Structure 1
C-alpha cells in the first residue's frame, strides 16, 4: 500500500522559502517525470561504468536494475520485488560489485519513505541485511576470506540500515505534514461552525428581544385602543382629555418599542459585534434602569391594570447591567401576559428583593383568566415564558411560572448575585 500525501504547504502567505516549497510541490506533482529523468541519468553514468567493469553482463544487470527506478514511487513494491530478483541474478552471474548497485539503495529508501505497511518496510530491511551478508561472501577474495567477507557484509548492512532509517524519517515527516494539514482543515471547519453557531444564537436572541418588545407594546396599544373604541361607542360622554390620554399612551408605547427594535437591529448590522450578550442586552447602559422599569409599570397601569410595585430604584440600579436587563424583560413579559390573559378584574404585584446572595423577583396577579401560552407547570413551549427561562438559566438562576391555587398566576425568578455572567456583562 502506497501512502498519498495531501498538500500541507498551500499557504496563502509569502514565505521566505517559497522557491524551495515550489520545487518540492513540483517534484511531488510530477513524480513520474522526475523519476524517469533520475533513472535515465543513473543509467547513462552507472550503466556505462558497470559495462566498463564487467563487460556485457555488467551492462545488462545494471540496466535491468536501474531502469525500473523510473516508476519507483508509483509502484514501489513491484520495483522492490524486481530489484530482489536482479540482486540474486547479479550474485550468480557477476562476481564483483557494480556501480549500478546504488539503485538497490535507492529502492530501499523509496520503500521506507513511501510504503505505509510496516510489515513491508520491515521485510525490506531484512532482505537488505541478508543481501548484504550474501554479497559480502560472494564478493570477498582470499586471503582472510572469512574476515573480509564479514567486514564487507557489515559495511553494506550498516549502509542499508542507514538508508532505510532515513527513508522512514522522511515518511514520518510526510505523515506529520499530512496530519498537520488535516488538523488545519478541521480547525477551519470548527471556526466556521463556531461562526455559524454564534450567528444562529444572535438571530435567536434578537428574535427573543423583538418578541418581548413587540408583544408588550402591541398588547398595551391594543388594550388602549379597544378601551377607547368601547368608550367612544358606549359611554355617555367621552371627553377630549380622555381621548388624548389614550392616544398619548399609544404614541409613547409605539415610539419606545420602535426605538428598542432599532437598537436590536443596529447591533445585528454591526459586523464587528459577535457577542450574543450584546444582542441580548442591546440596550445601552442608559437603559434597563429603575426609571425605565417604573415607566414600564406605569404603562401597564395606564392600560387599566392596577400594579403594586415594590422596589427601590437605587437598589435596582446598583445591580449589574445584565442582571437588570433580565429582570426588566421578565417584568415586561409577565405584565404583558397579565394584560393578555389574566382577564378582569385583575390586580398585579411586582416585588424585587435583594439578599446577601440572590436577587428574588416575584410577579403575581389575581385575575380569573388562564395564561394560555404556558401550562401551569411552567414547562411548556410558549415563546414568552420560554425566553424568560432561557435568560434566567444563562445567569445560573431558577425560574418558575405556575397558576396560583385559587386564581391568578405567579412568576418567580431567583438569580445569584455573584453570577460570573452578570459580572462579565456589566464590565
Structure 2
C-alpha cells in the first residue's frame, strides 16, 4: 500500500509538471476510442468528433476558449446530425475543466448554464416519436443531471487544489519561520558565547596584566627578588590562565551540548566559587572586603547564582582596570525574600560609564543584558565620595526555579 501511494504521488507530480503533454495524450486516447466510434454517423460524424475532441489538448491552457469552441461545435452537431455521438463525452470533460481550473465564478456559471441549455436542446433534437415532448424532457433531465454532477465534481476538485496551494504556501511560510528562528537562536547563542568568553578572558587577562606589570616594576625598582617572590607571581599568572582556559572550554561544551545551555554554570556554583574569585583578585594586588550571605547561594536557581558570580567578576575586573593602584573594593551579596542583591564598590579613581561600556554587550552593558534575561536590574556610576559603585538586583522566581 505504501509503495503504491508513493508511485501515485510520483505520477501526480510528473503529470503536474507536464500538463500540455498529459492533455495531448488524453485527447489522442479519447479520439482513438470515442472519435473513431463516431464514424457510425458517417464522415460528418467523424469530422464533428475530431473537431470536438482534439482541442482538448489545450483544455487547461485555454479553458474559456475551449468552452466557447465546444459550445459552437455542439450547436453545429445538433444542426447537421440527428443523433448523439460517442465523442460527446468530450463536452463533459470541457465542463469539468472549466469548473476545476477557472477561478472566475461568472465563467464557471456560464459553463453550467451552457451545459443545461445544451442538454435541453439535445433532448428535443434527439427525442423520437411517439411522445416526442415527454422523451425530450426525460433526455434533457438526464443530461442536465449528468452535466450538473460533472460541474460539481470540478468545483470540488478546484476547491481541493486551492486548499492544497494555500497549505503549501502556509507550509513554506512556516518553514521559513523555522529557519529564521534557527538563525535567531544560533545568533543568540553566538552572542551569549561571545559575552561569556569576553567576561572570562577580560577578567583573567586583567589579573595577568596587573601581576606582570607589578613584577616588571618590582624587578626594575625594588630590592632583588628571591625565588619565592617570582614563583608567587608566576603561579598567580598560571592559575589565572588555566582557570580562563577551563571556563572557555566549558562555554564551548555548552555550545556543543544545547541541553546544557539552560544551566551554563551547573548546579554547583556557591559561596566557595565567590571565594576563589575574590582570592584571585586579591592575589592580583587588589584588597577586597567581602560580605556574602550564604542564603544567596542556597535554594537559589543556578542561573541566579551564576549571574551573581558574573556581576562580581565583571565589577572587580573594572576596579582592577580603572580604580588605580591604591584602591580597595567591597563586595556585598545578600538575599531578601524576593531577590538577591549584589553591591560592588571601590574608593579609587572611578571611571565614566561610557569608558566601561564602550560597546554593547561588553562591560556594564553586558551585565545589564545578562540580568535582563532574568528580569533583573543594574545600577552603576561614580559614587558621591569618590570611586565607583555597581548594584544588581536579581529577582528570585516563585518556587526558586526559573525555566
TM-score in same-fold range (> 0.5): yes
CA offsets per residue over residues 76-103 of structure 1, 9 Å max, x none? 2222221011122122222332222111
| Maintained 8 Å contact 1:364/1:409 | yes
Shift of 1:109: 0.9
User: What residue number does 1:274 align with?
Assistant: 258
Mark the CA change 1:23 to 1:238 in structure 2 (over 3 Å): closer, same or farther: closer
User: What residue number does 2:288 align with?
Assistant: 307
Mark the CA change 1:134 to 1:302 in structure 2 (over 3 Å): closer, same or farther: same
- Is structure 2 residue 203 aligned with structure 1 residue 219? no
User: What residue number does 1:285 align with?
Assistant: 267
| Maintained 8 Å contact 1:220/1:300 | yes
Mark the CA change 1:38 to 1:331 in structure 2 (over 3 Å): closer, same or farther: same
C-alpha separation between the residues in 2 aligned to 1:327 and 1:77?
74
Aligned with residue 387 of structure 1, among 354, 363, 366: 366
Shift of 1:110: 1.4
- Is structure 2 residue 39 aligned with structure 1 residue 39? no
Aligned with residue 257 of structure 1, among 227, 241, 244: 244
| Maintained 8 Å contact 2:342/2:391 | yes
Count how many residue pairs are aligned between Structure 1 and Structure 2.
402
C-alpha separation between the residues in 2 aligned to 1:248 and 1:238?
15
Query: SS of the residue aligned with 1:73?
Result: coil
Mark the CA change 1:186 to 1:15 in structure 2 (over 3 Å): closer, same or farther: farther
| Maintained 8 Å contact 1:132/1:154 | yes
The alignment yields a C-alpha RMSD, in angstroms, of 2.5
C-alpha separation between the residues in 2 aligned to 1:196 and 1:155?
61
Q: So what's the TM-score if we normalise by structure 1?
A: 0.86
Query: SS of the residue aligned with 1:352?
Result: strand
User: What residue number does 1:133 align with?
Assistant: 120
Matches within 5 A, 1:229-378: 229-236=216-223, 238-268=225-255, 270=256, 273-274=257-258, 277-278=261-262, 281-286=263-268, 288-313=269-294, 315-371=296-352, 373-374=354-355
| Maintained 8 Å contact 1:374/1:385 | no
Shift of 1:171: 2.0
Shift of 1:210: 0.8
| Maintained 8 Å contact 1:223/1:303 | yes
Aligned with residue 172 of structure 1, among 151, 154, 159: 159
CA offsets per residue over residues 162-221 of structure 1, 9 Å max, x none? 101111212222233333333333333333222222221221111111100111111111
User: What residue number does 1:154 align with?
Assistant: 141
Query: SS of the residue aligned with 2:401?
Result: helix
C-alpha separation between the residues in 2 aligned to 1:15 and 1:116?
34
Query: SS of the residue aligned with 2:267?
Result: coil
Query: SS of the residue aligned with 1:406?
Result: coil
C-alpha separation between the residues in 2 aligned to 1:372 and 1:382?
14
Worse overlay, 361-370 or 160-169: 361-370
User: What residue number does 2:184 align with?
Assistant: 197
C-alpha separation between the residues in 2 aligned to 1:414 and 1:15?
62
Matches within 5 A, 1:51-130: 51-52=39-40, 54-130=41-117
Query: SS of the residue aligned with 1:171?
Result: helix
Query: SS of the residue aligned with 1:17?
Result: helix
| Maintained 8 Å contact 2:195/2:361 | no
